[in-house]
Amino acid sequence: MIEVNELLREKLSTEHYDRLIALDNPKMHEFVADAIELTGAASVFVCTDSEEDRAYIREKAVNDGEETPLDIPSHTCHFDGYNDQARDKAQTKYLLPPGSDLGASLNCIENRSGIEEVRSFLKGSMAGREMLVLFFCLGPLDSDFSIPCVQITDSPYVAHSETILYRPGYEQFGKIGPSGDFFRFLHSEGELAPASNKRGPVSKNIDKRRIYIDLEDDLVYSVNTQYGGNTIGLKKLALRLAIQKASMQGWLAEHMFVLGAHGPGGRVTYFAGAFPSACGKTSTSMLPGQTIVGDDIAYFRKIDGQIRSVNVEKGIFGIIRDVNSQNDPIIYQALTSSCEVIFSNVLIDDNHKPHWLGMGSELPAEGTNHSGKWQKGKTDDKGNEITASHKNARYCLNIPDLDNCDPLLDDPQGVPVGGVIYGGRDSDTWVPVEQAFDWKEGIIVKGASLESETTAATLGKEGVRTFNLMSNLDFLSIPLGRYIRNNLDFAGDIENPPLIFSVNYFLKDEDGTYLNGMADKLVWILWAELRVNGDVDGIETPTGLIPKYEDLARLFKDNLGTEYTRDDYVRQFTIRIPENLAKLDRVEKIYREKVSDTPAIVFDTFEDVRKRFKAAADKHGDYISPFELTAQ
């Protein structure tokens, strides 16, 4: 400890040394000292919770060229390197000790060689630059959900983003004491190179980009990258640490939004929901007339006989494509107001105004974007068109700046969860909304069977079904079978667990047209709200309960001002038995061939559901109108 203190005294100014030492945690001090020695940082800034320190970070991001001021004073734009604009799945790996195994589905590397490699890339990476040491809290402050975190980075853009996305944690860290647990994140942009005709430096050695996760030590290394998904440690990187921590401690960490659905008489029922990318997750969390707790990551704990949840974050790092005043009026209003926003990889015109794909107005013919100076028709070195704004362009803002922020966002007790929703992009199988019979079938038949179809825009081939266990497959840090078992067991001692629903906004007719309108999702969620509170009955199907026609007709009229016809109802809620049986076969094959620790109850449940489908087909045929089920 003497060596650590000596190094810290030598490298830190008196003010920043005192800030660090005021937090009585030797493990944290050692972490900071090791990072200084490893990266060769020229100076160190220890960030407290003060507004002055936040302002310093914001100003540094602009002064260092990592963010460009925009036409609205509180708005800035960041550009990532041209080949550094998405999560690097191939180089995001778990560091495991010899003999450990997370299963073939998870990307792992032996910890000794992995640590040696990533630390060699971090060696001297901050020479001549200032190291930023920041403290945050995952979950509300002073809560059973709280997880203190330390982020070390040399990127003021990363630091600035996290001050918007996460609750300040310096004071919280001071409460955990010398032996308290916390998550640690060490990031360096690595060697920087200015991009041609572009403001700001970018990471140069992308071929040495690494994101390594040490599950034994609650530590994440990230180097030679600026993109938020690879560098903002408290987001999906922390989710991986939290999933393992939750597994050991008996709670859940999920890739879910949390929404307050407003029912009759001012009642609010809270739902959590898991949706793969491009399946309506953000738009569901932002439904008109409802309130948002969070759009991305949620923790769940059992408190006083209830399952309660919190938003791990306090901000949104969202894809900005197609955000406009018609589809996303609340987000659009925030993005065009004076609240603090960081845009990334959008188009900036000569008047420093941001533009993005699908914003609802004509785009300029030229400007500056992720490729540098841009004009309409510009192509890359392979002849592909470079769009005005990157398809993965982002915005970063604070949820309390949204008009629909739920008042319980920061409640230390979280919100009581009334329902859980699983949704995917599905053209021909699932009905628009259905309630599972119970928690077990909800987890297995809805969550553990979740698939989503690819779109032509993403992979060039539409309709390829991709398995995505509870929309959390990319972030799991424990074997898949154990993850399913944890979810099954979680509600075992809860007298009235949340109801579980599936939704599908992408069901198509035979001619390929969508059977759902974009606004219809509000009705499906409001019907689920009524079911949770016992206000309406459902019709039994082989996999759960679907709405009655008259209840949906009333919800459409009262909430959307539209007529919902019996023909609409039949086309949307016909039970498609061949497609459902094919789905069961696809998913079961994955579990039998790729998940060696699949709980037996999964296969037993699949067989029970298969028998129900076959019995229904014997009685009604392969395609069953909901009115036939009503007449049973």
- 617 φ/ψ angles, rounded to the nearest 5 degrees: -65, -40
In this predicted structure, what is the pLDDT of residue 98? 80
Contact 587, 449 (CB under 8 A): yes
The residue type at 232: I
Please give the structure tokens belonging to residue 199.
């403001």
- Give dist(CA 612, CA 340) in Å, integer: 53
* Options 47, 137, 149, 279, the catalytic residue: 279
Helix/strand/coil percentages in the chain, nearest 5: 35, 25, 40
Mean pLDDT of 370-377: 91
Q: Which residue has the tokens 């402050």?
A: 141
Please report, for residues 250, 443, 476, 486, the alpha-carbon distance to residue 244 in angstroms, rounded to integers and kept in the order given: 10, 19, 8, 11
> Can you give the pLDDT at residue 87?
86
Is 457's pLDDT higher than 50? Answer: no
Task: Please write the tens of the pLDDT for every residue from 397-444.
Answer: 999 999 999 999 999 999 999 999 999 999 999 999 999 999 999 999
Cα distance between residue 410 and residue 65, in whole Å? 33
| Spatial CA neighbour of 447 closest among 431, 471, 476 | 471
State the pLDDT at residue 455: 59
- 603-623 per-position pLDDT tens digit: 999 999 999 999 999 999 999
- Statement: residue 76 has pLDDT above 90: yes
Q: Is the pLDDT of residue 104 over 80?
A: no
Task: Tell me the two tokens of residue 144.
Answer: 């059973």
- What does 515-554 look like in DSSP terms, one character per residue? SS-GGGHHHHHHHHHHHHTT-S-EEEETTEEEE-HHHHHH
* Contact in structure between 93 and 222 (CB atoms under 8 Å): no
Going by C-alpha positions, the residue among 315, 79, 296 that lies closest to residue 201 is 79
What pLDDT is stored for residue 101 in this prediction? 75
Instruction: Kindly indicate whether the domain formed by 2-250 is annotated with CATH number 1.10.10.1200.
Output: no
Kindly tell me the sign of the dihedral angle through the C-alpha atoms of 575, 280, 457, 255.
negative
Pairwise CA distance, residues 475 & 376, whole Å: 37
Cβ atoms 508, 428 nearer than 8 A: yes
* 262 pLDDT above the threshold of 70: yes
Read off the tokens for 557: 């009229």
User: How far are the Cα atoms of 95, 208, 429, 582 from residue 617, in angstroms, in the given order?
Assistant: 49, 56, 15, 14
Band (302; pLDDT cuts 50, 70, 90): very high
- Nearest to 340, CA basis, from 368, 316, 311: 316
Task: Yes or no: say if 324 and 395 are a contact pair by the CB < 8 Å rule.
Answer: no
Segments making up each domain of the chain, as ranges: 2-250, 253-314+408-630, 317-401
Q: How many Å separate Cα 186 from the centre of its chain? A: 21
* pLDDT over threshold 70, residue 461: no
pLDDT exceeds cutoff 50 at 270: yes
Q: Which range is least confidently modeled, 185-189, 198-202, 306-310?
A: 198-202
CATH of 253-314+408-630 given 3.30.830.10, 3.30.565.10, 3.90.600.10, 3.90.228.20: 3.90.228.20
Count the neighbouring beta carbons within 10 Å of the beta carbon of residue 52. 8
Distance spanning both ends of the chain, measured CA to CA:
75
Mean per-residue pLDDT for 554-568? Answer: 97
Residue with tokens 């990187």: 237
The model carries a pTM of 0.95
CA gap 454, 423 in Å, rounded: 14
Q: 471-515, pLDDT tens digit by residue?
A: 999 999 999 999 999 999 999 999 999 999 999 999 999 899 999
Q: How far is CA 307 from the centre of its chain?
A: 20
User: How does pLDDT run across 165-174, given as a tens digit for each residue?
Assistant: 999 999 999 9
pLDDT tens-digit series, residues 78-93: 999 888 888 888 899 9
* Pairing of β 415-423 and β 306-311: antiparallel
**What mean pLDDT do residues 248-274 have?**
98
Q: Is the dihedral of CA 368, 369, 373, 377 positive or negative?
A: negative
pLDDT at 130 over 90: yes
Cβ-proximal residues to 251 (8 Å cutoff; 6+ apart), any chain: 299, 300, 301, 302, 490
Question: Is 108 tagged catalytic?
Answer: no
CA distance 432 to 381: 43
Which pLDDT score, from 0 to 100, does residue 459 have? 39
- Where helices occur in 83-137 by DSSP H, the ranges are 111-122
Q: Is residue 378 over pLDDT 80?
A: yes
Q: Residue 142: which region, alpha, beta or left (left: phi > 0; alpha: psi -120 to 50)?
A: left
Amino acid identity for residue 297 in this structure: I
Contact 224, 203 (CB under 8 A): yes
Q: What is the pLDDT of residue 491?
A: 97
Structure tokens at 97: 């000790």
Provide the mean pLDDT of the chain. 94
CA distance 381 to 465: 32
Q: 487: closest CA among 451, 432, 541, 450? A: 450
In which band, very low, low, confident or very high, does the pLDDT at 193 lie, cut at 50, 70 and 90?
Answer: confident
Whole-number pLDDT of residue 199: 64
Q: What is the CATH number of domain 317-401?
A: 2.170.8.10
